[in-house]
C-alpha cells in the first residue's frame, strides 16, 4: 500500500513527536491496513507473533499516544470497549449489534450541523455519527433463519 513503507511511517511518527519504536511502527502499519476498528486485544493478538516482547499494556499505551498526537481516533460507540480508527477524516460508522463489526460509511456532510439545528454559539469538539443494528451479513442470516423456521413450522402442521 502506498505511503506505508517503514521509512514513511517513521517520518510520520517523528513528525507527530513520537520516536519510532518497533511497536509504534508495527501498530501504525497494522491500523492503516486493517480498517476493522480494532480493540487493544485484536491488535495484540495480530502482532504478538511478530513482536515477541509485545504486551497488551504496550499496545494500549501506543494507541493512547496515537490518539493524543492525532494519528488515530477512538470510535464513539457508547459501549465500554475502546475501539480505534486509523482513518482520520470525519466519517460515519455502522455498528452491528449481533457480530460487533464496526463498518466505515461515507464522509459526514458539512451541512449536518445546520440540518440538525446546532446553535451557532455552540462549540462542538467532536462529531460522531453511528448507526446501530444488524449488518448486511447478520440481517441476511436472520432472514434465512426465520424462513427456515417458517418452513419447518409448515411441515410440522398436520
Q: How far is the CB of 128 from Zn ion (least distance, A)?
A: 10
* Binds Zn ion (CB under 5 A): choice among 74, 108, 138, 141: 138
Nearest to Zn ion of 51, 101 (CB atom)? 101
Residue 16 host element (H or E): none
Nearest to Zn ion of 58, 73 (CB atom)? 73
Nearest to Zn ion of 22, 87 (CB atom)? 87
83: closest CA among 37, 129, 34? 37
Q: How far apart are CA 92 and CA 133, in angstroms?
A: 14
Residue 82 is a binding residue for Zn ion (CB under 5 A): no
Q: Is 85 helix (H, G, I), strand (E, B) or coil?
A: strand
Cell numbers at 41, concatenated? 486485544
Let me know: does 59 contact 38? Beta carbons within 8 Å: no
Q: Which of residues 87-106 bind Zn ion (CB under 5 A)?
A: 87, 96, 98-99, 104
Q: Which of residues 44-73 bind Zn ion (CB under 5 A)?
A: none
Stretch 28-47: interaction string toward Zn ion, x if CB under 5 A: --------------------
Q: How far apart are CA 156 and CA 152, in angstroms?
A: 6
Nearest to Zn ion of 16, 104 (CB atom)? 104
Let me know: does 40 contact 56? Beta carbons within 8 Å: yes
130 forms bridges with which residues in the sheet? 93
Binding site for Zn ion (CB under 5 A): 85, 87, 96, 98-99, 104, 135, 138
Amino acid at each position: 500500500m502506498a505511503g506505508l513503507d517503514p521509512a514513511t511511517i517513521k517520518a510520520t511518527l517523528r513528525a507527530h513527536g513520537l520516536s519510532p519504536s518497533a511497536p509504534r511502527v508495527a501498530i501504525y502499519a497494522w491500523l492503516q491496513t486493517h480498517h476493522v476498528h480494532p480493540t487493544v486485544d485484536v491488535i495484540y493478538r495480530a502482532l504478538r507473533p511478530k513482536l515477541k516482547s509485545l504486551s497488551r499494556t504496550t499496545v494500549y499505551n501506543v494507541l493512547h499516544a496515537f490518539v493524543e498526537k492525532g494519528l488515530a481516533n477512538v470510535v464513539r460507540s457508547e459501549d465500554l470497549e475502546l475501539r480505534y480508527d486509523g482513518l482520520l477524516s470525519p466519517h460515519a460508522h455502522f455498528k452491528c449489534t449481533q457480530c460487533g463489526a464496526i463498518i466505515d460509511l461515507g464522509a459526514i456532510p458539512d451541512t449536518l450541523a445546520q440540518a440538525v439545528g446546532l446553535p451557532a454559539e455552540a462549540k462542538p469538539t467532536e462529531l460522531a455519527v453511528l448507526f446501530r443494528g444488524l449488518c448486511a451479513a447478520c440481517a441476511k442470516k436472520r432472514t434465512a433463519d426465520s424462513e427456515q423456521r417458517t418452513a419447518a413450522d409448515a411441515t410440522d402442521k398436520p
